[in-house]
Amino acid sequence: MAEKLIDLKVNEYLKTLRSDAPAPGGGSVSALAGAQGAGLLLMVCSLTAGKEKYRDFEDVIKEVRPVLEEAEEALTAGIDRDTEAFDLVMDAFAMPKSTDEEKAARSEAIQKGTIASTEVPLENMEHALKALEAAEKLAGKFNPNCMSDFGVGVMNLKLCIQGAYMNVKINLPGIKDKDLAAELAKRADEAVLDGTGIADGLYNYAEDALDQ
């Protein structure tokens, strides 16, 4: 795409998403969910910081806010990075393959695109995990009027991790370097296990708090 997804209006983005274009797809949607999750947690921080009633939470807010800001920035960039990585693969498949040299160049380009299409969602998983780890520190130390926002933020980050995990998994078989593939798979497995565990615990905490 000539125009970045992040620069589109919401209705334009949704129109692009539902079209027959193969990208943006699940990877970009997952990154957007993660950026929304980190953004909601930053909103929770903003509605807690500077309030006399919650001054005991200031140190935690100061600790987690930079982590969440970094995650939000990285995941926002990840929306377009995921589609750009997919485009590398599509462009590679369109390369000529009439000669041995052309075939070799095409194969190399496909590998580069496939690796990028695996690494980008994996990095998005890891950024979302860092945001969830920050949310763990924030739990119980923010304005309770934001409890539903906290819970929705956490679940958006979980969606990011699980969705990006699927994009890692679908691309891994195409990587010829099996050592690299194994390393990326290990990182993804660890991130999805840790991330979903944290997210489920925090969601339960928020739900229980809303029931009281």
Q: pLDDT tens digits, residue range 135-190?
A: 999 999 999 999 999 999 999 999 999 999 999 999 999 999 999 999 999 999 99
Look at residue 125 in the predicted model and tell me its pLDDT. Answer: 98
Task: Spell 32-53 as b/e; 16+ CB within 10 A means b.
Answer: bbbbbbbbbbbebbeebbeeee
Side-chain half-sphere CA neighbours of 110 within 13 A: 17
C-alpha 1/C-alpha 132 separation (Å) is: 31
Question: What radius of gyration, in Å, describes the C-alpha atoms of the chain?
Answer: 20
Q: Span 64-90, mean pLDDT?
A: 96
3-state secondary structure of 123: helix
Look at residue 137 in the predicted model and tell me its pLDDT. Answer: 97
- ∠ Cα 118 119 124 (to 5°): 105
Q: Could you tell me the pLDDT band of residue 2, with boundaries at 50, 70 and 90?
A: low
pTM of this structure: 0.94
What percent of the chain has a predicted confidence (pLDDT) above 70? 99
Say if residues 101 and 166 touch (Cβ distance below 8 Å): no
Say if residues 140 and 18 touch (Cβ distance below 8 Å): no
Tokens of 170: 């679908």
**CATH number of the structural domain 25-211:** 1.20.120.680
Look at residue 1 in the predicted model and tell me its pLDDT. Answer: 47
Q: Which helix (H) or strand (E) holds 31?
A: helix 26-46
Place of tokens 């990877």: 27
Residue of 79, 85, 73, 67 whose CA lies nearest to 32: 79
Q: DSSP labels for 62-103? A: HHHHHHHHHHHHHHHHHHHHHHHHHHHHHHHHTS--SSHHHH
Residue of 190, 126, 135, 137 whose CA lies nearest to 161: 126
Dihedral sign from CA coordinates of 73, 202, 121, 82: negative
Say if residues 148 and 202 touch (Cβ distance below 8 Å): no
Q: Could you tell me the pLDDT band of residue 83, with boundaries at 50, 70 and 90?
A: very high
Say if residues 11 and 93 touch (Cβ distance below 8 Å): no
